[in-house]
Amino acid sequence: MKISNEEVTYVADLSRLEFSEAETARMGEELGAVLDYVATLNAVDTTGVKATEHILNVQNVFREDEVGQSLSNEEALANAPEAESGCFKVPRVIE
Amino acid sequence: MEYDIVIGMEIHAELATKTKIFCSCPTTFGADENTHTCPVCLGMPGVLPVLNKKVVEYATKAGLALNCKIANFSKMDRKNYFYPDLPKAFQTSQFDLPICVGGVLDIEVGGETRPIGITRIHIEEDAGKLIHEGADGTLVDVNRCGVPLIEIVTEPDMRSAEEARAFAEKVRNILEYTGVSDCKMEEGSIRFDVNLSVKEKGSDVLGTRTEMKNLNSFRALERAVHYESKRQIIELKKGHRIIQETRKWDDVKGVSSSMRSKEEAHDYRYFPEPDLVPIVISDEEIARAKAELPELPEAKKARYVSEYGIPEYDASVITTSKVSAAYFEEAVAAYHEPKLIANWLMVDIPAHLKERELTMETIPFGPSALAKLVELIKSGAISGKIAKSVMEKMFEGEGDPEAIVKAHGWAQMSDSGELEAIIKQVIEDNPKSVSDIATGNKKAYGFLTGQVMRATKGQANPQMANQIIRKLVEAQIGKTE
Ligand SMILES: [Zn+2]
């Protein structure tokens, strides 16, 4: 099953990715193959099998509500490509 | 054509935990930018979030207080979107299995009780703060990222701005009582989003809805609903279609406008959060949480009416805030005059608080001082009028009402001999009033009482003054009644 160019472009857009025409076509083929592979699961008879809500068979892992050490402002911003007035700086976003 | 207004609400409330939802950074408001962060809430790769136990406890309590069913099994999901207030590019939230479902809250508007359905309550993390002003770019403060929230989603059950406001106020009140959120609107710890559509009266077909986000006061919420419903009706009457969109409410101009920013198709591609495990709550734990719930406003209100005998209206005003209810109860415990204490809490105290920009949290005197003041009036030590001056001084920080009365020489004149001398003088000075009374104009008594109060600077005991005035005037007129 090939994924249509429109669908690839839509998903790429949501992921902030940009593809050339050739890449879009290739993505359509490859994503289609991935979905086909996953779809083999549909062949399994799951009548009477409880739906899986979560893949881990573990539950209730909690931490206590106790304050720990946070990073300093300098540490927090150490990896930021751009910073100003103690903040991360990003291209202007208009509300 | 008549129209019905259909309103649903989403309420976000920050939970009153000490730390964030998935890391041990503090949640305190107003810290310097980016000083409450760690690799987890900064969204660094390879970190492991761990759910704060208190978040589950608070969400359970909120759900119970809002009459929801608590899910025995719920899980966290990722809600994917790109926006700089969210360093991970997804918000950890709950999608198909929220922690609370199916609640209801009755509201009362115009003497009518209406049940408002609560679809669900889920837990999630708050986003960071964006600062747009001045800079050529946008600045990001991550402190608020990961502060725990509950999102309460209602059914589209509200039909007017008044109902929307009543519901919002009631939810805030209950969350405050339950202690799960401090509900400070000015700090954004509780925020209201309104979904609104209009439909032909009686029709089952819902209209297209618009959404207004982050209405930050009850007044703004009420005004925004009034404006937006009118706008939609006018559009429809003109034959226009309503566009499904997010609109921005401008509280200064009193208008809503389309947010024409490049709004993304909302496709959040939710999927189960693989780093967080499911939350399982047993029936025993739910029962325990239920037993731990404090007395909620509704129950408190009923108790004030039955136990203290104050009018229902008074009870509902006092219970609008947890702090004023606690204050009231303490004052009544100190001096059992519930109605008189309620009066002060409903009229004079709010007026002073407003004038001085204080709140019940910052009021400069305690409930025992208020009780003392009421006792002074009740025992006849001061007049009601003087009491108002005493309260003034209490707000100015002069402390104990008894000490204030003493310091200012405000004790009521209850010495009948002293008072009688003053009244004799007043009667002598006002022969016209006496002759008026003699000819049947009883109103002149009021004038004489006023003169006596003036002569004593309000310190005469009015009942006693009246008695003496009558006695002396009648003696002078030479007839008894
Ligand atoms: Zn953190």
Alpha-carbon span B432 to B413, nearest angstrom? 26
Please report which confidence band the pLDDT of residue B458 belongs to, taking 50, 70 and 90 as the band edges: confident
Indicate the residue of B53, B131, B278 with minimum beta-carbon distance to A63: B53
* Residue of B152, B150, B162, B288 lying closest to B223 (CA atoms): B162
Say if residue B264's pLDDT is above 60. Answer: no
Residue reference for tokens 């918000």: B91
Residue B479 has pLDDT above 60, yes or no: no
Mutation target for A interface from B94, B138, B143, B261: give the one with most A CBs within 10 A.
B138
pLDDT of B141 reads 97
Of residues B264 and B280, more confidence is placed in B280
Task: Band the pLDDT of A18: cuts 50, 70, 90.
Answer: very high
Please report which confidence band the pLDDT of residue A55 belongs to, taking 50, 70 and 90 as the band edges.
Answer: confident
Predicted local confidence at residue A84, as pLDDT: 93
Q: How distant is the Cα of B225 from the closest Cα of chain A, in angstroms?
A: 21
pLDDT tens sequence across B174-193: 999 999 999 988 888 999 99
Look up the pTM and report it.
0.82
Q: What is the pLDDT of residue B65?
A: 97
* pLDDT at position B466: 87
CA of B143 to the centre of ligand 1 (A): 8
| B195-241 pLDDT per residue, tens | 999 999 988 888 999 999 889 899 999 999 999 999 999 999 999 99
* Domain assignment of residue A82, given as a range: 1-95
Q: List C-alpha distances in Å: B71 to B104, B120, B123, B299, B412.
A: 16, 10, 12, 25, 63
Residue B481's pLDDT band (cuts 50, 70, 90): very low
The CATH number assigned to the domain holding A21 equals: 1.10.20.60
Higher pLDDT, B169 or B410: B169
Mean pLDDT of chain A: 91
Task: Identify the weakest region by mean pLDDT among B94-103, B252-261, B326-335, B396-405.
Answer: B252-261
Given a cut of 70, is residue B91 above it in pLDDT?
yes
What's the average model confidence in pLDDT over B458-462? 79
Per cent of chain B over pLDDT 70 is: 97
Write out B145-201 in H/E/C secondary structure. Answer: CCCEEEEEEECCCECCHHHHHHHHHHHHHHHHHHCCCCCCHHHCCEEEEEEEEEEEC
> Per-residue pLDDT for B73 more than 70?
yes
CA B23, distance to chain mean position in Å, is 31
For chain A, which residues lie within 8 Å of any Cβ of chain B, measuring from their own Cβ? 10, 14, 16, 53-56, 58-73, 76-77, 82, 84-95
Please compute the mean of the pLDDT values over residues A1-15 and round it to a whole number: 89
Q: Is the pLDDT of residue B415 over 80?
A: no
The more confident residue out of B19 and B413 is: B19
Q: Which two tokens stand for residue B332?
A: 């009544």
Q: Do B19 and A65 touch (CB under 8 A)?
A: yes
Amino acid residing at B22 = F
All residues at 6 or more sequence positions from B361 whose CB lies less than 8 Å from its CB, including other chains:
B323
pLDDT surpasses 60 at B480: no
Which residue has better confidence, B383 or B275? B275
Mean pLDDT (chain B) is 92
Nearest to A60 among B26, B259, B280 (CB): B280
As for how many domains chain A has, the answer is 1
Residue with token string 């115009």: B110
Give the minimum alpha-carbon distance from A20 to chain B in angstroms, rounded to a whole number.
Answer: 22
Lowest-confidence pick of B43-47, B261-265, B288-292, B358-362: B261-265
With a cut of 90, say whether residue B457 has pLDDT above it: no
Alpha carbon of B424 to those of B122, B416, B444, B478: distances in Å?
Answer: 75, 12, 15, 16
d(CA B76, CA A54): 9
In angstroms, the separation between the Cα of residue A42 and the nearest Cα of chain B is 19
Q: Residue B170 in contact with residue B164, Cβ under 8 Å?
A: no
Q: Residues A63-69: what's their mean pLDDT? A: 97
Show me where the domains of chain B are located: 3-284, 295-408, 416-480
Span A33-41, mean pLDDT? 94
Q: Compute the distance between CA of residue A53 and CA of residue B353 in angstroms, rounded to an integer.
A: 52
Q: How confident is the model at residue B421 (pLDDT cuts 50, 70, 90)?
A: confident
CATH of domain B416-480: 1.10.10.410
Average pLDDT over residues B413-438: 85
Q: Provide CB contacts within 8 A for A32, sequence distance 6+.
A: A1, A2, A3
d(CA B16, CA B147): 9
Q: If pLDDT is split at 50, 70 and 90, which confidence band does B263 have?
A: low
Tens of pLDDT, residue by residue over B34-46, are 999 999 999 999 9
ipTM of the complex: 0.89
Which pLDDT band, with edges at 50, 70 and 90, does B265 fall under?
A: low
Q: Do A93 and B24 make contact, defined as CB atoms within 8 angstroms?
A: no
